[in-house]
Amino acid sequence: MYIGSTDEKGLHHILTEIIDNSVDEAVPGFAKNIWVAISKSGEATVMDDGRGIPIDKHKSGLSALEVTMTKLHAGGKFGSEAYQASSGLHGVGSSAVNALSSWMRVIVKRDKKIVYQDYKRGKATSKLTPIKKESEVKKLTPSNHYKTPDSDSFTISSFLPDTQIFKKTTDWNFTKIKNLCRERAFLIGGLTFHLYDERTDEECHFYFDGGISSLIKHLNKTKKTLHEIIHFSKEITLEDNPIGTIGVEVAMQYTDSYNENIQTFANVINTHDGGTHLTGFRMALNRVVKDYGLKNNLFKDLKSGKGKTNGLTSDDLKEGLTAVVYIKMHSNEIQFESQTKTKLNNPEAQSAVFAVTKQFLTTHFEENPGEARRVLGKVLLAAKARMAARAAKDAVVRKGALEGSSLPGKLSDCQSKDPDQSELFIVEGDSAGGSAKQGRDRKFQAILPLRGKILNTEKARLDKIISSDEIKNLIVALGAGIGETFNKEKLRYHRIIIMNDADVDGEHITTLTLTFFFRHLKAIIDGGYLYVALPPLFKVKHDKVEKYVYSEEEKDEYIKTLGDKKIGIQRYKGLGEMNPEQLWETTMDPTKRILKKIVIEDAENADTVFRTLMGEEVPPRRKFIQTHAKMATLDI
């Protein structure tokens, strides 16, 4: 209920709860440092130099610390006035983490006293125990990186996730933890994170003085920017607003890219699905850009076929925009769509963000006409490209609609019309396509061969993309449209499998295809419908036994097990070398094949990697390849 799931995502959510307790101390300026350490035996330790959880007696007769750690909905740690912009997790967060831990210990220094208490699966297993000397604290923490904060108060929380709850894994992903802490360091200028992974002796530290402007700079580090970062913030109290003051902070910058990257936050929580604050920002940006363009007669060339001003759409404003929208409001009043807090629901946030953005952006454009015209130039270019793309897109839609069941000529469709049962193999070349067509189970497997390497869609707008015959055939075969016409309900296959040769050219074609889906049909990835097939590299034969292996390393290890037996090794240069029976047995048979499901765990990092490897700039690509080439592995 509180962490969403008990898999790896849920595991890291409980650590987020404890980290955000410390971040809540930093928001009003009480904490300057947060330490996060993963011990060799798997315990997580989080420490901050804030005020320390209260340890005095609660009205229930227990200590305030024990109430916070064992009672759901215990309320804020320091009363209603202390956390004007907290994540809203106190009481629920700490006690939920405690309930999901096989062991937990909290050490607090407050009011010149140091105490600790132990817990197990939500219940206290010791009394509130005094610690006489501060030097004894280090012995009570599982981390080797405990350092006494230069502070009169602190909180240290250590816990071990319960394997009875987290049955899939209790192995911490340090990369996820780093991304989590770096994101929060960006949001709160002046806060320092110290991270330690004692399993690998890795450590890193994050400090950003510039707040969300630093985050914009980080997000755009591989992009060509069109103007300086626009940053503004204000606390606003709306008329007839029952929830008091709302803090609004926005940073934005346009780049020469074709894709949008907007991140939204509510009280340091990343609202991945947006919400009312994002709606308010979009409405204000649309209003300001349109008003400025009309006032300065910048839309004179934006004509429709009838000679009338076509007008801008929200998609025109998105192209190349990087923005961060960050709102702060009282934790008791903040409303999310669900307990996992991915979408903000407060209508007051929409009004506040709209008012602040409209006021500041209007003034900024008036005072900086050069920047304003560069922004309008980018938006107008996107609008013209949209109009050029519309005719091509309409042609694609018409081809699917007007010709009824007429699909691309190269598509060998399956008999099933149930998307849940149907799968489409996207293969390179007629040779591999021929083997796949003969080897498939035509009841539920469709084959679409593509000729050569498709267009690099990282470097092209939608109008050029849709003019490519190979991509057009793929769009029509999928049946769900593209861009604003995309409709997931019309998707004809719920298992779309990219199947290419197991060599460098095959990997390049796979990367080009993944780029297309990531940039233009991301909803297919988000829906869990995209896969990559892993064909074997070798067939090893000894006596009458044949075994398919998928890498040089696997081949060498298998040969070692055969001893002095006489063996034969066949290396497959491509799928076309396999006869239909072999292709079915190794790569297409659902009972034997190996598929990699494509998921997006870190959208920001994925965006950076695609831009670096597939974009226009050569130096970042060369540096990336030189740095990471030896790290490449075949992970099956």
List residues with catalytic annotation. 428, 501, 503, 505
Residue 271 near residue 348, CB atoms below 8 Å: no
Q: Give the Cα separation of 478 and 465 in Å (integer).
A: 16
Element spanning 186, H or E: helix 174-187
Burial 275-314 (b: 16+ CB within 10 A, else e): bbbbbbbbbbbbebbbebbeeeebbeebeeeeeeebebee
Q: Give the Cα separation of 266 and 262 in Å (integer).
A: 14
CA distances from 479 to 105, 416, 451, 486 (A): 55, 15, 20, 9
Q: Give the Cα separation of 175 and 160 in Å (integer).
A: 19
Question: Which residue(s) pair with 117 in the sheet?
Answer: 106
The runs of H, that is alpha helices, within 306-368 are 314-318, 347-367
**Which residues contact residue 208 at a Cβ distance below 8 angstroms, ignoring those fewer than 6 apart?**
185, 186, 189, 214, 215
Q: Give the Cα separation of 233 and 288 in Å (integer).
A: 17
Q: Which strand ranges, in their side-by-side order, compose the sheet holding 321-328?
A: 230-236, 246-254, 321-328, 261-266, 269-270
Element spanning 461, H or E: none
Element spanning 119, H or E: strand 113-120
Phi and psi dihedrals of 324, rounded to 5? -125, 125
Q: Give the Cα separation of 92 and 16 in Å (integer).
A: 13
Give the helix, strand, coil percentages of the chain, each rounded to 5: 40, 20, 40
Residue (of 584, 278, 311, 269) closest to 432 by Cα position: 584
Residue 553 structure tokens: 């390393």
By DSSP bridging, strand 261-266 and strand 495-499 are unpaired
Instruction: Please give the sequence-ordered ranges of beta strands (E in DSSP) within 31-100, or none if there are none.
Output: 33-38, 44-48
Residue 360 near residue 288, CB atoms below 8 Å: no
Tell me how many degrees the CA angle 491-494-497 measures, rounded to the nearest 5.
Answer: 110
Q: Give the Cα separation of 495 and 256 in Å (integer).
A: 34
Q: Give the Cα separation of 444 and 434 in Å (integer).
A: 17
